[in-house]
Amino acid sequence: MTIKSMHHLGITVTDLKGAVAFFVELGMELEGGMHMEGEFVDGVIGLDGSRSEIAMLKTPDERYRIEFSEFETPQSIDGSSHAPINALGLRHVAFVVDDLDDTLARLKPHGAEVVRNIETYQDVLRTCYVRGPEGILIELCEYFD
């Protein structure tokens, strides 16, 4: 038996509205949001008395989703959101964009910062890492036609 598909990636943040605004500006679409609490949720995530707000965003092709969660209780703990790329664990999310320079210009007012450089790999692509809201590390790739 193999998996059928990936449903979503979950990211916990302290500013849900800011994270949603950033990723909508990037080009994702808000699919929906809701308040989460109760025995069912506690049983799934393993935290008693949890209360959170979530927002589900999808890529324009509807193939991928990111669920952002902001916890009211219990209080979120620092998961080393500003760790470098070589730290263990989930480190970055990568997106293909049409125009890297335009994307960076649109994300800058939302706090995006290029980690170091925009690099070109042969005649294939331009790419860079960007720190977004909550220190989320994002790789942006523009492929050459």
Query: Please, which residues have CB within 8 angstroms of residue 79's CB and are 6 or more apart in sequence?
Result: 12, 89
Query: Please, which residues have CB within 8 angstroms of residue 105's CB and are 6 or more apart in sequence?
Result: none
Name the phi and psi angles at 85, rounded to 5. Answer: -60, -25
Query: How much is the pLDDT for 47?
Result: 87
| 58 and 19 together in one domain | yes
Mean pLDDT for the chain overall: 91
CA atoms within 13 A on the CB side of 78: 5
Residue 15 sits in a domain whose CATH number is 3.10.180.10
Query: Please, which residues have CB within 8 angstroms of residue 1's CB and are 6 or more apart in sequence?
Result: none
- What does the pLDDT look like over 92-106, one tens digit per residue? 899 999 999 999 999
- What does the pLDDT look like over 53-68, one tens digit per residue? 999 999 999 999 999 9
Residue 72 is inside which H or E element, if any? Answer: strand 65-73
Residue 111 per-residue DSSP state: T
Residue type (1 letter), 12: T
Query: How much is the pLDDT for 88?
Result: 67
Last residue of a domain, one of 19, 40, 73: 73
Write out the residue range of the structural domain in which residue 21 sits. Answer: 9-73
pTM of the model: 0.88
Number of domains comprising the chain = 2
H helices of 3-88, where? Answer: 16-26, 39-45
- What does the pLDDT look like over 104-142, one tens digit per residue? 999 999 999 999 999 999 999 999 999 999 889 999 999
Total Cβ atoms within 10 A of residue 138: 20
